[in-house]
Amino acid sequence: MALRRPPRLRLCARLPDFVLLLLFRGCLIGAVNLKSSNRTPVVQEFESVELSCIITDSQTSDPRIEWKKIQDDQTTYVFFDNKIQGDLAGRAEILGKTSLKIWNVTRRDSALYRCEVVARNDRKEIDEIVIELTVQVKPVTPVCRVPKAVPVGKMATLYCQESEGHPRPHYSWYRNDVPLPTDSRANPRFRNSSFHLNSETGTLVFTAVHKDDSGQYYCIASNDAGSARCEEQEMEVYDLNIGGIIGGVLVVLAVLALITLGICCAYRRGYFINNKQDGESYKNPGKPDGVNYIRTDEEGRLQTQVIVCDLRPAVWLRAHRAHMHIPLLETPVEAARADALGQS
């Protein structure tokens, strides 16, 4: 017959666990503790949100409450000295004893918020809890750029950009209302195309366009708050006419040759020669008998020296120059000689 253990022994065996539980609960008495119903709230822009901070255990009837905002490695007060501080003044309040409610939230309110409680009468006087608030912003209409015409075999890039959405949106491209994959090689439907789509930047790159790539293109930017799309834009892929290009080049060369020939003929017929005065060029006057003209460059201007080779009076030479409209430029020696000849 098997022996049965008396119930008294079982009670004694459980006694140490019971004693430990009492000791553990006794250690918690007088310690302030916090909890939150939602540590990662997500809200749409311009809505209201509650940041939950609840005191579960405390022996202090009037603990000190503080809220702080942590953003871009900077910490600022939100609730201090029993009033709302900073940019939340006028659109936030304390609910109950410790929770914080914010109205009309904006994207700048996305940050970490720390609830701190100081209970002077508790054994553990300080406790804190951190709540991460995310404010979502719907994207606005993205800006799309699509080339209007691209020759076959050339590279083409389509751009889609949006700067208001939060968190940052993802991009998708459509051609003739058909969504395009991130890589044309991943879908047999686009085996005749060669493109790659970056959904983070919104760039659609064709390494070499084909005739099948012609169509109406538009882009959609989307995040958890919503989506927006741009207007359709047409991209045409055309064949490159090599024969037409060569013919155009030949026509241009022929026109240039005709223009050059016309200028040469006009120059030979004297259309570009200066007008003459009294039957002879002003720059090339006729030479009277016995007179030679020598041009020298003296002190930055052109002077004319006259050398009289016969016994004609210098007075006749002056009269001849005046008749031919030639400037009278004489050196001191030449002027003295002309005066001496005129008196003789």
Return the CATH class of domain 29-136: mainly beta
Q: Is residue 109 packed enough to be buried (19+ CB in 10 Å), middle (13-18) or exposed (0-12)?
A: buried
Q: What average pLDDT does the segment 312-330 reach? A: 51
pLDDT of residue 281: 45
Whether residue 90 is predicted with pLDDT greater than 80 in this model: the reply is yes
Supply the pLDDT for residue 339.
65
Say yes or no to pLDDT of 15 above 50. no
User: pLDDT digits over 37-77, tens only?
Assistant: 999 999 999 999 999 999 988 888 889 999 999 999 999 99
Which pLDDT band holds residue 322 (cuts at 50, 70, 90)?
low
Residue range 122-150: average pLDDT?
95
Is the model's pLDDT at 264 over the cut of 90? Answer: no
pLDDT at position 258, please? Answer: 87
Q: What gap in Å lies between CA 217 and CA 171, rounded to an integer?
A: 13
Residues ≥6 apart with Cβ < 8 Å to 159: 143, 144, 145, 202, 203, 204
Residue 66 structure tokens: 């503080």
pLDDT of residue 2: 45
Q: How high is the pLDDT of residue 300?
A: 45
pLDDT at 20 over 60: no
What's the CATH number for 143-238? 2.60.40.10
- Please, what's the largest Cα pairwise distance for the chain? 181
Lowest mean pLDDT across 13-22, 158-167, 190-199, 244-253 = 13-22
What is the mean pLDDT of the segment spanning 315-334? 53
Which pLDDT belongs to residue 242? 67
Domains 29-136 and 143-238 share a fold: yes
Q: What is the pLDDT of residues 161-191, one digit of tens each?
A: 999 999 999 999 999 999 999 999 989 899 8
Non-local (6+) Cβ contacts of 226 within 8 A are: 138, 139
Confidence of residue 11 (pLDDT cuts 50, 70, 90): very low
Mean pLDDT over residues 320-342, rounded?
56
The predicted structure's pLDDT at residue 121: 86
User: What is d(CA 30, CA 123) in angstroms, rounded to the nearest whole number?
Assistant: 5
Query: What pLDDT was estimated at residue 265?
Result: 84
- Report the pLDDT averaged over residues 147-157: 95
The pLDDT score that the predictor gives to residue 336 is 64
pLDDT band at 8 (very low <50, low <70, confident <90, very high): very low
**111: pLDDT strictly greater than 70:** yes
Please state, as a whole number, how many other Cβ atoms lie within 10 Å of the Cβ of residue 143: 14
Q: Any idea where the domains of the chain sit in the sequence?
A: 29-136, 143-238, 241-272, 291-343
